[in-house]
């Protein structure tokens, strides 16, 4: 009782609370926790061997049937050099032989646009099979606060093109399926919009309240991203002026991925937070994906300081967290196209 009356117990409680708060913050944002090492032989933790064999057979069949479906109407990037004659608020495209790649059924062209006082980098991609669109986890490990720079992961996996992913490691929930392997089946909310990529090259926007990640895996999902929101559905802008992601209530650097048609995709990264580039709102990004690039489906990935595009050995854009320094942020995952 004397101890309680002395007020020392308040000091002790305060110290305990401070220590606990510090631990929670460190555990959430700093302390790395490795859960699963990634290898080419990794298999789903929720599928039996029979289900895995069935899924692999279905995927192989779908990949054999998949062909590049690219009509003249689909093309968004000219193979010719375009002169820079537009004003700051109009679209400017520029392309050269050093900004293109073609090999092994993969064709990539990088075009730089200027819209909404912002530099936007768009990679137009055609593939011969959906498994050429791959993902990689930092340090080849599924975990929490395990991070590497986008360029470092790209080089480790011999990528010709890479962008940052959905930064799954900063969250405790949200579906994670990568390269056909299920890592997390915990929903982050019934209305959370995920992007699903299937082995035939088609995409689908799902709501986590409507289906589990295990069920998506049984549908042969190849990749599942949980960040959002969906930007374009059925060729129509799916967001409004009021749509924003948490902690991003203004124009910012952005990263997005889009499908024009099966096996015809775009990776998009915009600069922002600098005097040269203001950045984009979610609505502006969605309009760019739908109206300028002609996406049938498009999805928002992690942005801000994470937004990075790597191509042919170097970072294409100007990643920054606060505009004072141009540098990459380490992230938990990338989406990439390999050289083989």
For 283-337, how does the pLDDT look when each residue is reduced to its tens digit (9 = 90+)? 999 999 999 999 999 999 999 999 999 999 999 999 999 989 999 999 999 999 9
Please tell me the predicted confidence (pLDDT) of residue 22: 52
pLDDT at res. 99? 86
- Where is average pLDDT lowest: 3-12, 267-276, 328-337? 3-12
Residue predicted with more confidence, 310 or 71: 310
For 178-209, the pLDDT digits (tens) are: 999 999 999 999 999 999 999 999 999 999 99
The whole-number average pLDDT for the span 89-101 is 52
State the residue for tokens 């308040």. Answer: 10
Query: Rounded CA gap, 94 and 139, in Å?
Result: 35
Poorest-confidence range of 25-29, 157-161, 170-174, 188-192? 25-29
Average pLDDT of span 274-278: 95
Q: Exposure pattern of 132-170 as b/e (b: 16+ CB <10 Å)? A: bbbbbbbbbbbbbbbbbbbbbbbeebebbbbbbbbbbbb
Predicted pLDDT at 18: 64
Peptide bond into 284 cis (omega under 30): no
CB 216 within 8 A of CB 77: no
Give tens-digit pLDDT for 19-30.
Answer: 555 555 555 545
Q: What is the pLDDT, as a whole number, of residue 340?
A: 75
SS (H, E, C) 211-254: CCHHHHHHCCCCEEEECCCEEEECCEECCCCCCCECCECCCECE
- Does residue 247 surpass a pLDDT of 70? no
Which of 69-83, 143-157, 255-269, 270-284 bottoms out in mean pLDDT, i.e. has the lowest? 69-83
Instruction: Write down the pLDDT at residue 2.
Output: 55
Q: How many CA atoms lie within 13 A of 133 on its CB side?
A: 32
Residue with token string 């599928």: 47
Residue 56: its H or E element: helix 49-65
| Main-chain phi, psi angles of 234, to 5 degrees | 55, 35
With bands split at pLDDT 50, 70 and 90, how would you rate the model's confidence at 250? confident
Domain boundaries, given as residue ranges, for the chain: 1-31, 40-338
- In percent, how much of the chain has pLDDT > 70? 69
Q: pLDDT at residue 153 above 90?
A: yes
Q: Provide the pairing of β-strand 223-226 with 193-197.
A: antiparallel
Q: What's the mean pLDDT when you consider all of the chain?
A: 81
């Amino acid at each position: 009782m004397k101890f309680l009356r002395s007020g020392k117990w308040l000091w002790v409680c305060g110290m305990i609370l401070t220590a606990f708060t510090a631990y929670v913050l460190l555990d959430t944002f700093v302390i790395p926790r490795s859960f699963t090492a990634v290898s080419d032989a990794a298999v789903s933790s929720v599928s039996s061997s029979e289900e895995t064999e069935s899924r692999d057979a279905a995927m192989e069949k779908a990949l054999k049937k998949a062909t590049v479906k690219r009509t003249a109407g689909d093309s968004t990037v000219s193979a010719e050099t375009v002169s820079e004659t537009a004003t700051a608020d109009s679209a400017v495209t520029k392309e050269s032989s050093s900004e293109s790649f073609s090999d092994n059924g993969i064709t990539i062209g990088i075009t730089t646009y200027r819209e909404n006082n912002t530099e936007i980098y768009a990679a137009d991609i055609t593939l011969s099979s959906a498994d050429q669109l791959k993902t990689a986890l930092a340090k080849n490990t599924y975990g929490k606060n395990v991070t590497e720079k986008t360029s470092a992961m790209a080089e480790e996996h011999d990528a010709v093109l890479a962008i940052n992913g959905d930064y799954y490691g900063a969250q405790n929930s949200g579906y994670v399926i990568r390269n056909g392997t299920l890592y997390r089946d915990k929903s982050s909310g019934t209305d959370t919009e995920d992007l699903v990529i299937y082995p035939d090259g088609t995409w689908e926007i799902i709501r986590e309240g409507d289906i589990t990640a295990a069920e998506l895996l049984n549908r042969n999902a190849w990749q599942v991203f949980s960040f959002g929101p969906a930007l374009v559905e059925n060729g129509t802008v799916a967001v409004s002026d009021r749509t924003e992601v948490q902690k991003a209530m203004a124009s910012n650097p952005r990263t997005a991925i889009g499908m024009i048609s099966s096996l015809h995709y775009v990776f998009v990264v915009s600069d922002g937070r600098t005097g040269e580039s203001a950045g984009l709102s979610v609505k502006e990004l969605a309009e760019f994906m739908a109206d300028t690039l002609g996406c049938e489906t498009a999805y928002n990935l992690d942005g801000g300081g994470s937004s990075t595009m790597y191509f042919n050995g170097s970072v294409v854009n100007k990643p920054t967290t606060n505009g004072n320094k141009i540098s990459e942020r380490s992230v938990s995952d990338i989406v990439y196209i390999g050289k083989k």
